[in-house]
């Protein structure tokens, strides 16, 4: 019986480490894939970089500034529309009373 | 007729197998090497570009059908023989079948950050898509203006 994981997958992947001088870098990515019998969709985005230097490992996250800005703006519109709807409902009630 | 149908069925199955193979290759775009570009070195600095990658595809197949010769049709009840089709038409060959298929796909990529490796260490510099942010901003302002005007009209009533 097919399982949900056969169709929808979220996996964290990493490339082969890149060595430059004494620094070893491992880029990490996250892939979200949806598969249908006759089609599919893949969304692959970078998440972080692992930096290994002098026996120290540091994880540098990759932030998608454009996406963050879009989400913030969408959140503002959503909040604003909820407030406007609530105000309109209150105004109607006061008119009826 | 049945041979033709069988041939068509085999053809459809082969095409479906091919589409599955294409899908398998397509899912390979989920590998991280499609996100991180090969390192570029300039002087003491090495730069790796990290991009967001979307890919989508779909295929579809359709079959057809056909009708056999009219000889199989028999008169029902007390139907007059004059209403029956002529004998040569009864023996005419059956109509054909149709088959079609199609597919489409899209791949999009957008740079997200640049990883810089230099003598000072490793830095992750974000790449900002100003056009996308501007479009989102003006859409937000437009939506808010429409809501404000509606609110103003409602308060006037």
**CB A63, CB B126: distance < 8 Å:** yes
pLDDT of residue B8: 66
Quote the percentage of chain B above a pLDDT of 70.
73
Contact yes or no for A49 and B115 at CB 8 A? yes
> Does A38 have pLDDT greater than 90?
no
Q: Which of A6-10, B4-8, B39-43 shows the highest mean pLDDT?
A: B39-43
Q: What is the largest CA-CA distance in chain B?
A: 101
pLDDT of residue A26: 93
Same domain membership, residue A72 and residue A52: no
Mean pLDDT of B141-156: 81
B141 touches chain A (CB under 8 A): no
Same domain membership, residue A73 and residue A92: yes
B122 touches chain A (CB under 8 A): yes
Same domain membership, residue A45 and residue A17: yes
The residue segments making up the domain with residue A81 are 64-97
Q: Which of residues 24-53 of A touch B (CB under 8 A)?
A: 25, 27-29, 31, 33, 35-36, 38-46, 49, 51, 53
Phi, psi of B31, deg, nearest 5: -70, 145
Distance between B77 CA and the closest CA of chain A, angstroms: 49
* Interstrand relation of A18-20 and A23-36 (parallel, antiparallel or unpaired): antiparallel
Same domain membership, residue A43 and residue A68: no
What is the C-alpha to C-alpha distance for residues B100 and B98, in angstroms, rounded to an integer? Answer: 7
Chain A residue with Cα closest to B22 = A39
Same domain membership, residue A51 and residue A25: yes
Same domain membership, residue A80 and residue A52: no
Same domain membership, residue A26 and residue A5: yes
Residue B49 CB coordination number (10 Å): 17
Name the pLDDT band for B21 (thresholds 50, 70, 90). confident
SS3 A21: coil
What is the C-alpha to C-alpha distance for residues A45 and B85, in angstroms, rounded to an integer? Answer: 68
Domain count, chain A: 2
The answer to whether the Cα torsion of B11, B14, B18, B20 is positive or negative is: positive
Same domain membership, residue A58 and residue A84: no
Same domain membership, residue A48 and residue A11: yes
> Does B49 have pLDDT greater than 80?
yes
* Interstrand relation of A23-36 and A56-61 (parallel, antiparallel or unpaired): unpaired
Distance between B95 CA and the closest CA of chain A, angstroms: 30
Q: Is the ipTM of this complex over 0.85?
A: no
Residue A19 CB coordination number (10 Å): 10
What is the C-alpha to C-alpha distance for residues B39 and A17, in angstroms, rounded to an integer? Answer: 12
The pTM for the full model equals 0.69
What is the C-alpha to C-alpha distance for residues A35 and B89, in angstroms, rounded to an integer? Answer: 50
Same domain membership, residue A70 and residue A43: no
Mean pLDDT of A19-24: 87
Contact yes or no for B147 and A81 at CB 8 A? yes
Per-residue pLDDT of B99-112, as tens digits, reads 788 888 888 889 99
Same domain membership, residue A72 and residue A56: no
A25 sits in which H/E element = strand A23-36
User: What single DSSP character describes residue A90?
Assistant: H
Q: Say which of B33, B60, B140 has its CB closest to residue A77.
A: B140
End-to-end CA distance of chain A: 60
Per-residue pLDDT of B132-141, as tens digits, reads 999 999 999 9
Return the number of CB contacts < 8 Å for A and B: 156
Residue A38 CB coordination number (10 Å): 15
Name the pLDDT band for B95 (thresholds 50, 70, 90). confident
Same domain membership, residue A44 and residue A20: yes
């Amino acid at each position: 019986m097919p399982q949900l994981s056969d169709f929808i997958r979220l996996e964290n992947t990493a490339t082969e480490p890149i060595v430059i001088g004494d620094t070893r870098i491992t880029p990490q990515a996250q892939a979200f894939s949806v598969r249908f019998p006759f089609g599919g969709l893949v969304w692959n985005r970078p998440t972080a970089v692992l930096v290994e230097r002098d026996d120290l490992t540091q994880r540098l996250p990759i932030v998608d500034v454009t996406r963050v800005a879009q989400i913030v703006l969408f959140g503002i519109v959503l909040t604003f529309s909820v407030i406007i709807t609530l105000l309109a409902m209150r105004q109607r009630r006061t008119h009826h009373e | 007729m049945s041979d033709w149908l069988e041939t068509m069925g085999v053809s459809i199955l082969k095409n479906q197998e091919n589409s599955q193979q294409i899908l398998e290759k397509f899912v390979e775009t989920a590998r991280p090497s499609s996100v991180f570009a090969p390192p570029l070195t300039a002087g003491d600095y090495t730069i790796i570009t990290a991009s967001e990658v979307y890919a989508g595809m779909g295929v579809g197949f359709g079959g057809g059908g056909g009708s056999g010769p009219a000889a199989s049709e028999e008169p029902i009840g007390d139907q007059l023989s004059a209403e029956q089709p002529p004998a040569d038409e009864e023996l005419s060959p059956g109509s054909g079948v149709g088959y079609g298929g199609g597919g489409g796909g899209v791949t999009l990529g957008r740079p997200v950050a640049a990883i810089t490796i230099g003598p000072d260490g490793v830095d992750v510099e974000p790449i900002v898509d100003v056009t996308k942010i501007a479009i989102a901003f003006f859409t937000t302002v437009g939506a808010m203006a429409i809501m404000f005007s509606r609110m103003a009209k409602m308060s006037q009533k």
